[in-house]
Amino acid sequence: MAKSKATEQAPPSSLFLSTAALPACDRLAVWREVFGQKMVRLDIEPAKDTAFHAEGELHVLPGAAFASVTATPFRVSRTPKLIAGDAADTVFLVTADMPLHVAQNGREQVLDAGDAIFIRASERSAIQSRDRARLTNISVPMDDLAPLLPNCMDPAMTVVSRQSDMLDLLLGYVRLLRVGQKPLSDELGRLAAVHIRDLMAAIIGAAPAECRRGGIRAARLRAIKADIGRHLCEPALSIDTIAMRHGISARYVRKLFQEEGTTFSDFVLSRRLERSRQLLRKPVRTISTIASVAHACGFNDLSYFNRTFRRRYGLTPTDVRDGFS
């Protein structure tokens, strides 16, 4: 389970560990000591008669954390000793691509692949998988989450269906953070932690209005921008197709961009122009003509491309290609 303490001094960070390069006889001991005890504060037991292998990645933000672990059949547990070593109570959201058996405080749940469950770090717990599994866990301090929950409810052992749109949104947001090209700044790390906390509260049952600083909207907008990036070269890319893919209305998409002080069309145009400039500035010309560059970036009107490019950068595409930028 990802370790998440509300320490203001801790900068955003990521850690990775794999047993692949270790001798088989050392894998379990190293994993327990480094990833289990120090990084995520969990004890792990491999299934009997199974060669142990695992790899895991932990990302720590100021006020949240998330981890992704792939392991051969296992049983992980929070023991009293590990609990005593944590100064803050944390709430974990755990999900995996294989069925899980989860037990905490005398209660048990069997999760289907893709379902998720909330677990309190302050209570003994155990999670078991009978198959090789990829497990994701996301955590925030309980003190940060509690004010957003209705009637101060305890989320422990609350099961969330894999069909939950809100769960899918949270996992997508965390996935985008995990594959980011560069580490988040301290300020952005704090903001991302707020978004994670707000989405977790919404999953548990808090009304969207109670989720401060627009965590749900920010996650939705980030997912939409990533979708635009994947389909940027398609001339037929439109607000209607984006809205349909995300199961929301085009009006709602417009509102998300308006809240950032821009429009859907301006954002798409800006991304396309920036991508075209990058292609034009490449020393090795993989695309031979200006028209080919325009088409590769989603423009189907060459004169419109030339006009908007010059308006944005003060140079023609040919100028940029010839090295005048």
Distance CA 47, CA 130 (A): 8
Overall average pLDDT of the 208-225 stretch? 66
Is residue 323 left, alpha or beta, with left meaning phi > 0 and alpha meaning psi from -120 to 50? left
Q: Is the pLDDT of residue 136 over 60?
A: yes
Ordered by where they begin, the domains of the chain are: 13-163 (2.60.120.10), 231-325 (1.10.10.60)
Q: How many percent of the chain have pLDDT more than 90?
A: 42
In angstroms, the CA 110 to CA 49 distance is 23
Count CA within 13 A, CB hemisphere, residue 51: 6
Q: What pLDDT score does 152 carry? A: 59
Is a pLDDT exceeding 50 seen at residue 208?
no
Which pLDDT does position 10 carry in this prediction?
38
C-alpha closest to that of 247 among 179, 177, 166:
166
Banded model confidence at residue 214, pLDDT cuts 50, 70, 90:
low
Least confident stretch, 18-22, 60-64, 221-225: 221-225
Alpha-carbon gap, residue 13 to 7, rounded angstroms: 13
Q: Please tell me which residue, 105 or 163, carries the higher pLDDT value.
A: 163
**166 within 8 A of 173, measured Cβ to Cβ:** no
Residues 278-316 pLDDT 10s: 888 876 655 678 999 999 899 999 999 999 999 999 999
pLDDT category at 212 given cuts 50, 70, 90 is very low
pTM, rounded to two decimals: 0.68
| pLDDT at residue 181, as a whole number | 64
Please say whether the beta carbons of 254 and 263 come within 8 A. yes
